[in-house]
């Protein structure tokens, strides 16, 4: 018996002449965090909307829990959309209880779970406020509680950190990892690469509707080897523009991630850097997800 919770098989979705999702296939295993990664317009949200039956695919099949996605699968899903769908004039507590009861919880169970999660997010004091009175970050936390209160088996988060400050982002990351450790299966869509590295077990890289890379995150990074340099320095960074056989990523005043291309030698780069700046750190590492994405897109364009 397959341990796949989500299965996309040759899925395509077109809007007029625009192909938003183009013959996409991937699987999400039980108890894993699966990252749907790519720039805006890559096909991530359209894929999620087909999974949640908001949209219907034009071709291919989508299976959840071993059966075709449809009304029978929806009760076992929790979906946090990128666009907030809360009622602005309803009070926080009333709205969360209403949404939880729509998902099949009794009134008492709904109140109990909502109190737990609001207290967990340090938000119980908002229970009597109207949603429209809350900040963007506060509304995001309320929507997250609405997504998980009915204890679904599979959770789908589309840009879940939108509007959150660093402290609340860390709190949300902790909860997502706890849910994974409790056996929940999580799909997580984002265009922010650093969040994927911190959270995901597996990834699917989308670009212009096509799936260009898919698999275990650690295995993908290991397959590239240690071909990137993290360079920290003080001094004039203009020398970076003159380095040969490299690609410069994440460049800032005192830092650069340098991808070694064919013909590059890390020791040559170190000696060249020492001529121009004071070295604070020089480390040969596996590439970042951002570098892997850039490389994968470049290969697709050139193929």
What residues does each domain of the chain span?
A: 4-221, 226-285
Phi, psi angle pair for 161, to nearest 5°: -95, 5
Do 151 and 104 contact (CB within 8 A), yes or no? Answer: no
First to last CA, the chain: 37
Q: 203 has which bridge partners?
A: 35, 215
pLDDT at residue 255 is higher than 60 = yes
> Which of 58, 46, 6 lies closest to 210 in space, CA to CA?
46
129: tokens are: 């406020």
> Can you give the pLDDT at residue 301?
64
Going through 124-276 in order, the beta strands assigned E by DSSP cover 154-158, 185-190, 202-207, 210-216, 228-235, 246-252, 255-260
**Per-residue pLDDT band at 208 (split at 50, 70, 90):** very high
- Tell me what the mean pLDDT of segment 6-16 comes to: 97
Residue 84 confidence (pLDDT): 72
Q: How many CB atoms lie within 10 A of CB 64?
A: 24
- Which residues does 222 contact at the CB level (< 8 Å), separation at least 6? 286
Averaged over 207-236, what is the pLDDT? 92
Residue with tokens 């990892």: 177
All residues at 6 or more sequence positions from 223 whose CB lies less than 8 Å from its CB, including other chains: none
DSSP 133: G
Residue 287 is classified by DSSP as P
- 226-285 is a CATH 3.10.450 domain: no
| DSSP class of 240 | G
Mapped onto helix, strand or coil, the DSSP state of residue 35 is: strand
Note the pLDDT of residue 172: 92
Identify the band that residue 303 occupies on the pLDDT scale cut at 50, 70 and 90. low
Residue 1 has pLDDT above 50, yes or no: no
- Running DSSP on this structure, what letter comes out for residue 163? T
Q: Is the pLDDT of residue 302 over 70?
A: no
Q: What is the mean pLDDT of residues 150-169?
A: 91
C-alpha separations of 142 from 101, 117, 126, 171, 230 in Å: 16, 9, 9, 14, 38
Q: Using CB atoms within 10 A of its CB, is residue 89 exposed (0-12), middle (13-18) or buried (19+)? A: exposed
Query: The domain 4-221: what is its CATH number?
Result: 3.40.50.300
43: left (phi over 0), alpha (psi -120 to 50) or beta: left
H helices of 163-228, in order, are: 166-181, 193-199, 217-224
């Amino acid at each position: 018996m397959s341990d796949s919770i989500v299965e996309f098989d040759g899925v395509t979705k077109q809007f007029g002449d625009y192909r938003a999702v183009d013959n996409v296939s991937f699987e999400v295993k039980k108890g894993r965090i699966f990252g749907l990664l790519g720039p805006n317009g890559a096909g991530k949200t359209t894929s999620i909307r087909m999974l949640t039956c908001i949209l219907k695919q034009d071709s291919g099949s989508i299976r959840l829990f071993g059966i075709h996605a449809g009304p029978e699968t929806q009760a076992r899903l929790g979906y946090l959309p990128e666009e907030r769908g809360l009622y602005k004039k309803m009070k926080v507590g009333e709205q969360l209880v209403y949404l939880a009861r729509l998902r099949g919880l009794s009134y008492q169970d709904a109140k109990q779970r909502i109190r737990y999660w609001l207290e967990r997010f340090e938000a119980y004091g908002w229970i009597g406020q109207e949603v429209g009175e809350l900040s963007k970050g506060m509304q995001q936390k309320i929507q997250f509680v609405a997504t998980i209160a009915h204890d679904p088996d599979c959770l789908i988060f589309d840009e879940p950190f939108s509007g959150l400050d660093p402290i609340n982002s860390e709190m949300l990351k902790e909860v997502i990892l706890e849910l994974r450790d409790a056996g929940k299966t999580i799909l997580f869509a984002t265009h922010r690469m650093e969040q994927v590295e911190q959270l995901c077990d597996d990834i699917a890289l989308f670009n212009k509707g096509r799936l260009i890379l898919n698999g275990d995150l650690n295995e993908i990074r290991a397959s590239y080897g240690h071909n990137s340099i993290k360079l920290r320095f003080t001094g004039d960074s203009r020398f970076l523009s003159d380095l040969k056989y490299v690609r410069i990523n994440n460049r800032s005043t005192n830092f650069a991630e340098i991808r070694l291309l064919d013909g590059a030698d890390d020791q040559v780069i170190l000696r060249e850097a020492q001529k121009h700046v004071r070295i604070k750190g020089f480390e040969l590492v596996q590439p970042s997800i951002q570098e892997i994405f850039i490389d994968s897109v470049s290969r697709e364009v050139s193929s």
